[in-house]
Amino acid sequence: MRLKKYSLKQKIKIGKKIKKICNTNRVTFLINDDPWLTKELDADGCHLGQNDMKIKEARTIIGNKIIGITCHNSIRLAKIAIKSKADYVAFGAFYETKTKKTKYYATTKILRELDKISSIPIVAIGGINPNNYKNLLLNKANFLAISSYIWNNKKYKPQQAVKLLK
């Protein structure tokens, strides 16, 4: 759940609804940037950016839940995350995206490079759609974070957009 422009009260209300949907569909529920909200909603874990709380501090708040960390386009940051006991690392953006301003671009080379040195799950982020997602999976991404293609798609409703990814 990534809700940057909402109040805490709104995030809790929306988060409770999303958690029910995730539980019903046996989908992992992660909160972006906020271990305290993760704990409040009893979510499955949280995703941290490089400027968010450190993994060790987040662990003291949420315990043994999932913690993932953004590593932009850097193997060095991924190694630090692995050493800090992250459960997964995320790279991106791989393609142009409207979800947020892109400072860092990653290539499929980084996916293959990390796969050679670690078994940690890798998430690819940024501009992913039906035309490019298979390339990321073929190059060792374990998971894909797909946002604007599904939620801001002017051509397809969310359920239709998801079906095109199968």
Residue 155, token pair as written in the block: 């051509």
Q: Residue ranges of the domains in the chain?
A: 71-163
Distance CA 50, CA 40 (A): 22
Share of the chain above pLDDT 70, in %: 100
Average pLDDT over residues 4-22: 96
155/127 Cα distance (integer angstroms): 16
Tell me the pLDDT tens digit for each residue of 58-116.
999 999 999 999 999 999 999 999 999 999 999 999 998 877 778 889 999 999 999 99
Q: What is the model's pLDDT at position 101?
A: 77
Per-residue pLDDT, 104? 87
67 near 90, Cβ under 8 Å?
no
Q: Which region, left, alpha or beta, applies to residue 129 given φ > 0 means left and ψ of -120 to 50 means alpha? A: beta
Domain 71-163: give its CATH code.
3.20.20.70
pLDDT value at residue 128: 95
Give me Rg for the CA atoms of the chain: 16
pTM: 0.92
Running DSSP on this structure, what letter comes out for residue 97?
-
